[in-house]
Amino acid sequence: MLLAVTPSALVRLGIRLADLSDVGTARLNSKVQGTPSGSVKVVSLPTTPSKASEANSTLLTAEAMADLMHCSRANVYEREKKGALFSVLPPGRENGRRYPAFQLEARLDTALLAALISRFRTLQVPTNLLWDFLRSVQPSLGGLTGVELLIGQVPQRPGVDAAVLNELNKLDVEARQEYVVTHALEGLAYALS
């Protein structure tokens, strides 16, 4: 399948042109009046993880998030207030919240992240505990971290259970969300005991 996007659309998705691999060219023949025909460059998304997805521990300031999202800090704070993003307070700090960088990944399952944020907020639990869950390997998630599950990245490492991942992928969106949230809360109960 080919999808035509502009370079600026890629930037908004968090995909750098330098991260794309050239595949070749394709010839477009449009039968729709006003749609251009011609040759276009064909590229593929990287199969290796980007820097943001490699590190389950990368934290950014609100300013850095705003720069990468091409918006203002106020927009970042508003998205956090609405439950689309979360921030954490690094250990030993009383202020200076940071935003986990994986939230900028183009492949992020935003609905699942919002469900996790919402459930933790409802329980009035610090988002640092959500962050702990997301960056830890979870047997219930087939040996993935929550971040890897959220961005659809399956690393090549021992302990990744393909059978569990296949079962997770068979679930519909709502059932999958409930499964992940339930296991996050089980981990929370364990952490708080």
Task: Dump pLDDT digits (tens) for 102-128.
Answer: 999 989 999 999 999 999 999 999 999
Q: For all residues of the chain together, what is the average pLDDT?
A: 81
pLDDT tens readout for residues 35-65: 566 666 666 655 444 443 454 678 999 999 9
Closest CA to 73 of 83, 60, 92: 60
Q: What is the DSSP string of 68-120?
A: HHTS-HHHHHHHHHTTS---B--TT-SS--BEEGGGG-TT--HHHHHHHHHHH
Contact 88, 132 (CB under 8 A): no
Measured CA to CA, the distance from residue 183 to residue 193 in angstroms comes to 15
Q: Quickly state the pLDDT bin for 84 (edges 50, 70, 90).
A: very high
14 has pLDDT over 70: no
Q: How far is CA 126 from the centre of its chain?
A: 20
Distance CA 139, CA 74 (A): 37
pLDDT of residue 42: 64
pLDDT at 5 over 70: no
Distance between CA 39 and CA 35 in Å, rounded?
A: 13
Answer yes or no: is pLDDT of 1 > 50. no
Predicted structure pTM score: 0.69
The more confidently predicted of residues 75 and 92 is 75
